[in-house]
Structure 1
Amino acid sequence: MDASVRPAMDLSGGLEDVPVLFEGLTLPTFQYSPDNVQGLGCTVDPSEVTLPGCSCLSHSCSSESCSCLQTHGHSYSRTGTLLELSRTDFGCCSPVFECNALCACSDTCSNRVVQRGLRLKLEVFHTRNRGWGVRTLEEIPRGTFVCEYAGEVISFGEARRRQLGQKSEENNYIIAVREHAGTASITETFVDPAQVGNVGRFLNHSCLPNLFMLPVRVHSVIPRLALFAGRDIDAQEELTFDYSGGHTSQNPAELLSTQSDAAVQASRTDGLQRKACHCGAKKCTQFLPLDLSILN
């Protein structure tokens, strides 16, 4: 055996049920966490159970008896893949609520997907021109949950302070998710995995990605930023998502903006340096997005 070749190691340090592999090179210093943690300015602990549970005693919940499914509807098939994928092509999606710690159903209920954590074999590797990236070591069917984008949940003020304090050569990991529920209700979540995060922090942007992000609520009102396969993905393929929220050529931030929303967005991106996009897609926007919007 070549002594210069280091064995693959588990980036998660055993915190994931499936090891997150990486080989050889030294990774940035950060604390691995499979779940969101409370950061500066966040008034709610993401680990606190704040949503009500169902009283189902069956192995898997059904809409006839489950209060969770009656309230929020079915989001997953019996095999755990996401339903209504076509709606995400237009920058909108149905709210996703899973059964939680207060529910009486079993841990194998079909309405428990994201909370089960990582189930796929992923590897962090060094790309040719975009730094670190993530690839899958197995085929992933369309609609499959892949991983979370987990990190510190922070306030808008703290997110802006961190962004404005960054040097031009530093990576911006902060994702700002704006959920639109009707004409007057907007919920915002800011997640920064720079210092505390999971494998999602290494995912690159693409203007033609194979993953898309959905906010999924499990135990807490603070959503988990879950990434699903937008199409069938081959083994050894790099995993990417659109930092603006879509997985087609359409831009949800542009599709959903009203005049007032656009003014808010302009105030938030003012003073922030746009970074060049190197995704290589034919319809590349040339710059990385600065915000992510989702319509419920």
Structure 2
Amino acid sequence: MVPLVEMSEIDGLHMDLSSGLEDVPVLFEELTRPTFQYSPDNVQGPGCTTDPSEVTLPGCSCRSQSCCSETCSCLRTHGRAYDDSGRLPDLSRTGGACSRPVFECNALCSCGDSCSNRVVQKGLQARLEVCSTQDRGWGVRALEEMPLGTFVCEYAGEVIDFVEARRRQLSQRADENNYIIAVREHAGAGSITETFVDPARVGNVGRFLNHSCLPNLLMLPVRVHSVIPRLALFAARDIGAHEELTFDYSGGYSNQRPAERLCTERDSPAWGSRTDGPQRKACHCHASNCAGFLPLDLSVLN
């Protein structure tokens, strides 16, 4: 049985959806509580052979408060992703439909917590509110300005395998939402890594984000302590306070290719989709380039 999330009261109007599990409260003002268990981080689900909380990546031996590219083994191997303010300075690294994963310093690294290569692992820092939308159910809006490249939140949930993802997707009724994100990473020479994250039963604020064909967030796989990536969402442009936060369920953000092609093509180096049941559902993002339907990855069903 999926437990009700127990929300703590912030004031007479708002509750903290995370019940204190986040450093920053996730505001929520609805009386009807969503039935899921809040977790700031990924958890091990059916079919997942690696515990996402297990430290499996090597660390650097830097003794400074913040690592530098010349001496840090993490930065020399994977490159510097963030600037000194902790933002992504080069969004072109995503290459439209293709993205390069980010590696942060981890628990085995000797550098301090203030290292500029530690961003996503610090958890939610932005002030967010889960709210009702006019025609898309729940959504998430920013309560503060967020400059381009700012880490906003994770899309966290149960990490499951392909078999379980397929089973859950096929069992969905037409009136139910399926929150599964499938991320496929190509490392060259035919090496493909697939990660399936489902926050329907266990998840965080990211599960409430809506799709947009012209989104203001982009998703990147970020590896911290584990080989299992965290699905991190960053500001794809400057975002204003009280603006709804959205991302493209097909994995893109620059809309350089048609949505239908994005959600069926399997040979891009990094690929993602969130599906809403086996039936195509109408998209209500109201963007000028709206594709008309939510992205659907039929390959997960095969």
1:281 paired to 2:287: yes
Q: Is the 8 A contact 1:243 1:291 kept in 2?
A: no
Task: Name 1:14's counterpart in structure 2.
Answer: 20
Q: Is the 8 A contact 1:6 1:23 kept in 2?
A: no
Cα distance in 1, alignment partners of residues 188 and 280 from structure 2:
30
- Structure-to-structure mapping, 1:256-271, within 5 angstroms: 261=267
TM normalised by structure 1 equals: 0.90
Q: Is the 8 A contact 1:178 1:292 kept in 2?
A: no
Shift of 1:83: 2.8
Q: Is the 8 A contact 2:263 2:295 kept in 1?
A: no
Distance change (3 Å), C-alpha of 1:168 and 1:187: same
1:92 paired to 2:98: yes
Distance change (3 Å), C-alpha of 1:161 and 1:255: closer
Cα distance in 1, alignment partners of residues 227 and 198 from structure 2:
18
From 99, 112, 134, give the equivalent of 1:128: 134
More moved, 176-185 vs 57-66: 176-185
Q: Is the 8 A contact 1:177 1:189 kept in 2?
A: yes
Cα distance in 1, alignment partners of residues 279 and 145 from structure 2:
36
Query: What number of residue pairs does the alignment pair up?
Result: 282
Q: Is the 8 A contact 1:61 1:111 kept in 2?
A: yes
- Structure-to-structure mapping, 1:1-296, within 5 angstroms: 6-88=12-94, 90-182=96-188, 184-251=190-257, 254=261, 261=267, 272-291=278-297
Q: What SS class does the counterpart of residue 213 from structure 1 fall into? A: strand
Cα distance in 2, alignment partners of residues 253 and 153 from structure 1:
26
Distance change (3 Å), C-alpha of 1:163 and 1:79: same
Q: What SS class does the counterpart of residue 87 from structure 1 fall into? A: helix
Q: What SS class does the counterpart of residue 77 from structure 2 fall into? A: helix
Q: Is the 8 A contact 2:61 2:111 kept in 1?
A: yes
Shift of 1:90: 1.9
Task: Name 2:8's counterpart in structure 1.
Answer: none
Q: Is there any run of 5+ residues in structure 2 with no aligned partner, and where?
A: 1-10
Give structure 1 regions of 4+ aligned residues with deviation exceeding 3 angstroms: 251-258
Q: What SS class does the counterpart of residue 92 from structure 2 fall into? A: helix
Shift of 1:91: 1.6
Cα distance in 1, alignment partners of residues 297 and 217 from structure 2:
17
Cα distance in 2, alignment partners of residues 54 and 183 from structure 1:
27
Q: Is there any run of 5+ residues in structure 1 with no aligned partner, and where?
A: none
How much identity, in percent, do the aligned residues show? Answer: 74
TM normalised by structure 2 equals: 0.88
Could you report, residue by residue, the CA deviation over 1:165-215 in whole angstroms, capped at 9, with x for unpaired residues?
A: 011000110000111223522211000000000000000000000001000
Q: Is the 8 A contact 2:169 2:278 kept in 1?
A: yes
- CA RMSD of the aligned region, Å? 2.3
Cα distance in 1, alignment partners of residues 143 and 20 from structure 2:
18
